[in-house]
Amino acid sequence: MRDLQLMVTLWPSFPHFPKFAADPRLRGIRLNSAMMAPTELTKELELAAAPEVDVPLWFDVKGRQMRVAEVIPDDDHLDLRLNHPIFVRTPATVLFKAGADAARLDRLEEGGRRLVFQGGPHYQVREGESLHIRHPSLEIRGPLFTEAELEKIAMVRAAGCRRWFLSYVEEAADVDRFLELVGRDAEVMLKIESPRGLDYVARDFVKRENLTLVAARGDLYVELERPHEILAATKLIVARDPEACVGSRILLSTIQSGVPECADFSELAWLYDIGYRSMMLCDEICLKEKLLSRAVNAFDAFRQAYAAH
């Protein structure tokens, strides 16, 4: 069980970052810049270069993932611009808040970059948040990387980073394009977060020493048409890459309780038994030191106890 490793998501400016950046129980720390502008990144990279940081850092790059670039004020309905232009037949259902909220898309404007809705979702939508459209006609158009994302990549690479996550990988061309930017020898975790990504894994993925698949279940679970399909998807990814990582929706009961539920430990055991040796906690757990400490302790207890059987 010593080969069972854990990753978390933090930013160097978090008060609890130094504690976990020196924690030998962690394999790596993912830096997720989804809600961060390039202008905010300079300070974070300076803090990340501190000599006390012992745990390897991985920078998460957003490729074709749809995110809110601007919310246009309107009292009557939701109106927003995306980071990528899209096409989808309307009306169509759009999911927000990891599937917990939804709104009906009425029409596209401005070449598919502006989305105008019929009314709006229950919760407030903010700039930088992701959204999901499961309609089969959906096309995400334009370059794979936005100008802002290209700027972040250049900054992080200049800081010496050689470890990366790439979001919403759906074809070999995505990987090739990214390696052109960061170097062919860079270590890249390929996040599989959609049915098209699963098709790529099943048909075209070729395992290489510096490429590792990630069952990114936070978004993948929402993107799948039926909830139970997450089981076959999770098994497919580790079957195609024995070094694959499984992320998110792990130990979620520790958010509400100091004692993890039985189902959490049972799921950890199932993930281990089907082959996963690398796991990653979701962002929500990692935002607060108390929650992250609780989850890391529970994971370490599982790692030690399950090895005895």
Give DSSP secondary structure letters for 196-234: HHHHHHHHT----TTEEEEEEHHHHHHHSSSTTHHHHHH
| Per-residue pLDDT tens digits for 162-197 | 999 999 999 999 999 999 999 999 999 999 999 999
68-137 matches 5-64+144-306 in CATH topology: no
CA distance 103 to 84: 19
Domain boundaries, the chain: 5-64+144-306, 68-137
Fold that domain 5-64+144-306 belongs to in CATH: TIM Barrel (3.20.20)
- Collect all residues with Cβ–Cβ distance below 8 Å to 166 and sequence separation of at least 6: 61, 63, 174, 175, 178, 188, 189, 190, 191
Tens of pLDDT along the chain (309 residues) come to: 458 999 999 999 999 999 999 999 999 999 998 778 888 899 999 999 988 899 999 999 999 999 999 999 998 999 999 999 999 999 999 999 999 999 999 999 999 999 999 999 999 999 989 999 999 999 999 999 999 999 999 999 999 999 999 999 999 999 999 999 999 999 999 999 999 999 999 999 999 999 999 999 999 999 999 999 999 999 999 999 999 999 999 999 999 999 999 999 999 999 999 999 999 999 999 999 999 999 999 999 999 998 655
pTM: 0.94
Which element (helix H / strand E) includes 191?
strand 187-192
Cβ 123 vs Cβ 161: under 8 Å: no
Task: DSSP letter for 69, please.
Answer: E
Q: Return the CATH architecture of domain 68-137.
A: Beta Barrel (2.40)
Nearest C-alpha neighbor of 1 from the set 253, 282, 305: 305
E strand or H helix at 18, and its extent? helix 17-21
Give the torsion sign (CA, 123, 125, 126, 128).
Answer: positive
Q: In this predicted structure, what is the pLDDT of residue 52?
A: 87
Among 90, 82, 86, 38, CA closest to 59: 38
